[in-house]
Amino acid sequence: MKTLYFEEVEEGDELPPIDLLLTKDFVRTYAKTAGMDFPRFTDDEGARQEGLPGMIAPGVLSMGLLARLIGEWNQAAQITRIGTTFRSPVLPDCHIHLLGFVTQKDAEQHTAECDIWMENDDGERWVIGTATVLLPTRNS
Amino acid sequence: MALEFDRSILGQVFDETDFPPVEKTDLLRFADALGETNPLYTDEEAAMHGPYGGLVAAPTYVTRLRPKKMTPEHMPRFGKVGFDGGRDVEIFAPVRPGDRLKMVSTIHDIYEKTGRSGSMYFIVLRNEITNQDGQKVAIVDHRIMQR
């Protein structure tokens, strides 16, 4: 965990990627914790009955993981806005990669804009998004 | 041709939900379920010395708050199937243990996009969350895609 000040962040900086195996148990635990204990998120057979190929991860789980990506890059980055588009169902028991970089800095607001996304081993971007983070300054 | 629907439904409140006080264990479980490692969300002792002076919720905790009525009674339908298109979250204040949150839900926007595979329709449900002090905590926009 580290703290990066506004002055130390540069446009183009990459956020250290998170690579993880998204297991069905991980998805089920999230779904139950988040009050989304529905068959499509917990059970292959139940999901198939809803016309899905198998259980999927809730979109907001992907969003939560992308917020975690920002927190692991910079513990002091305060997310003031995060927006995600769910482009494709996320089927668990696969490796996912969470990636991002800083696209813009605002010297007046002490904020940075980031592009963030989740992709699979083939580089397909299943979830894309952007976030605005407020950063501490050396002078404050 | 502009998308046709009764525009008076935009901005109409279709649900108001008051949640029980936020429990510390719920915040910790939520952070754990995401694999969070940031001590501001996972370690009460360490968070005491952080910028919020105590444990706070992981940023997307507000997306787990569900209105009593998930969709309006007269939710327009433009297609045969609906998908979860995405979320946009604006965060104004942290969620802390003991907070009593209130959520007001409206249909915020309806629009159409045309792509290679044809027309897609988006209905944006907006959830505005405030705390016991009337302070705005977050706005969560839920984009439902129909085609």
CB contact under 8 A, A82 and B34: no
Q: In CATH, which of 1.10.645.10, 3.30.365.10, 1.20.140.10, 3.10.129.10 is domain A10-23+58-134?
A: 3.10.129.10
Query: Which of B37, B58, B64 lies at the smallest CB-CB distance from A35?
Result: B64
CB contact under 8 A, B38 and A79: no
Dihedral, CA atoms, A46, B140, B27, B59, nearest 10 degrees? 110
pTM score, whole prediction: 0.95
pLDDT in tens, B25-73: 999 999 999 999 999 999 999 999 988 999 999 999 999 999 998 888 8
Q: Which of the pair, A128 or B71, is modelled with greater confidence?
A: A128
pLDDT in tens, B69-114: 888 887 888 877 788 999 999 999 999 999 999 999 999 999 999 8
Task: Please state the separation of Cα A62 from the chain's center in Å.
Answer: 5
CB contact under 8 A, B40 and A63: no
Q: Where are the domains of chain A?
A: 10-23+58-134
Q: How far apart are CA B145 and CA B123, in angstroms?
A: 7
Q: How far apart are CA B28 and CA A60, in angstroms?
A: 17
Question: Quick one: pLDDT at residue A69?
Answer: 98
Mutate: best of A86, A88, A127, A130, partner B, most B CBs <10 A: A86
CB contact under 8 A, A64 and B38: no
Q: In B11-43, which positions are buried (b, 16+ CB within 10 angstroms) versus exposed (e)?
A: eeebbebeeeebeeebbbebbebbebebbbbbe
pLDDT in tens, A6-23: 999 999 999 999 999 999
Using the Cβ of B118 and the Cβ atoms of chain A, whether some distance falls under 8 Å is answered with no
Query: In order of start, what are the domains of chain B with their CATH numbers?
Result: 7-21+65-146 (3.10.129.10)
Determine contact, residues A97/A9, Cβ cutoff 8 Å.
no
Question: Quick one: pLDDT at residue B1?
Answer: 53
For chain A, the average pLDDT equals 96
